């Protein structure tokens, strides 16, 4: 007696496909192809993160081998469901979550595990998802905090930030705690820009804002990027994010699920079905 699965080919109706095994196999092949594509594309990137494994609790990994890169002058978006690990990835790159394996490289120099203040000095800026301003301090004092490692540059950098956010300059003596959500977001971005970063990591800058203010934030992010600052932006507002970014990543369960240009991702039927349907229509 013969076993159909062993004897027949794929076209043979007797061929029995172990669908789970085939799926796993395809997944592995896909992962290898994705890694190869990342490795060649990330060469010479301004900032790159390779095969990042990280988590908060011992023995529990939140990131399971994420790859990310951003070229000089690029605007890169990261989207994905709640809990996918988007914030964790930014925090890991910025030295706020311990990286268990993998590497982060800035302009060819390893920066894996360096502390946040060291990274700020090296040109990495970070705006966290929450609690990103000092509410008891004025706008001006918040901006000073962003420059505590180079206070002498205040006048020059304040002028730059005021050019991007004129409303902040006009109200520089106002406490950040009395500002609207949108204005606070501008203060937070302004603070991160004070050290003249070459790359800015933004975690959900439009979260919790009205649609009009969301538009303003996206406009500002583009403006910041146009001044030459590379940007990595995590966003729940997936469609808008993909509209403005050069390239995007879809993160799911701590892994890269899809990566392509913003426009290609926004039109990819799989991405639409899996990630844009609910994410995109929820805001």
Number of residues that bind ligand ATP (CB under 6 A): 13
Contact segment (CB under 6 A) with ligand ATP among 25-33, 79-87, 105-113, 168-176 equals: 79-87
Q: Which residues bind Mg ion (CB under 5 A)?
A: 86-87, 129
**Other beta carbons less than 10 A from residue 41's beta carbon:** 15
Residues 176, 189: Cα–Cα separation, whole Å: 13
87 touching ligand ATP, by CB under 6 A: yes
**Closer to ligand ATP at the Cβ: 127 or 143?**
127
Q: In angstroms, give the least distance from the CB of 87 to ligand ATP.
A: 3
Q: Which two tokens stand for residue 112?
A: 């894996």
Contact segment (CB under 6 A) with ligand ATP among 54-62, 187-195, 212-220, 222-230 equals: 54-62
**Closer to Mg ion at the Cβ: 71 or 129?**
129
237 touching ligand ATP, by CB under 6 A: no
85 binds, among Mg ion, ligand ATP, none (CB under 5 to 8 A by kind): ligand ATP
Closest CA to 160 of 184, 189, 125: 189
- Which string of x and - marks every residue 177-216 that binds ligand ATP (by CB under 6 A)? ----------------------------------------
Options 83, 135, 177, 277; binder of ligand ATP; rule CB under 6 A: 83
**Closer to ligand ATP at the Cβ: 198 or 236?**
236
Query: Which chain residues interact with ligand ATP by CB under 6 A?
Result: 56-57, 62, 80, 82-88, 129, 236
């Amino acid at each position: 007696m013969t076993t159909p699965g062993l004897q027949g080919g794929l076209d043979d109706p007797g061929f029995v496909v172990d669908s789970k095994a085939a799926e796993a196999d395809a997944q592995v092949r896909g992962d290898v192809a994705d890694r190869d594509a990342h490795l060649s594309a990330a060469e010479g990137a301004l900032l790159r993160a390779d095969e990042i494994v990280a988590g908060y609790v011992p023995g529990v990994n939140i990131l399971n081998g994420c790859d990310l890169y951003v070229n000089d002058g690029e605007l890169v978006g990261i989207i994905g469901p709640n809990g996918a690990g988007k914030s964790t990835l930014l925090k890991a790159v910025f030295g706020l979550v311990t990286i268990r394996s993998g590497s982060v490289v800035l302009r060819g120099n390893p920066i894996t595990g360096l502390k946040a203040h060291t990274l700020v000095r090296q040109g990495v800026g970070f705006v966290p998802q929450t609690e990103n301003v000092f509410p008891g301090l004025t706008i001006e004092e918040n901006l000073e905090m962003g420059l505590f490692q180079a206070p002498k540059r205040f006048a020059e950098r304040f002028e730059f930030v005021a050019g991007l956010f004129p409303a902040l300059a006009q109200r520089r003596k106002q406490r950040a705690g009395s500002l609207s959500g949108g204005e606070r977001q501008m203060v937070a971005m302004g603070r991160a820009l004070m050290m003249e970063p070459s790359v800015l990591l933004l975690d959900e800058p439009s979260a919790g804002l009205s649609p009009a203010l969301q538009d303003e934030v996206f406009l500002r992010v583009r403006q910041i990027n146009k001044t030459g600052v590379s940007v990595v932006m995590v966003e729940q507002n997936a469609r808008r994010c993909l509209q403005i970014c050069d390239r995007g990543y879809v993160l799911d369960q701590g892994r890269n699920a899809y990566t392509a240009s913003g426009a290609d991702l926004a039109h990819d039927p799989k991405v639409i079905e899996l990630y844009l349907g609910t994410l995109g229509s929820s805001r």
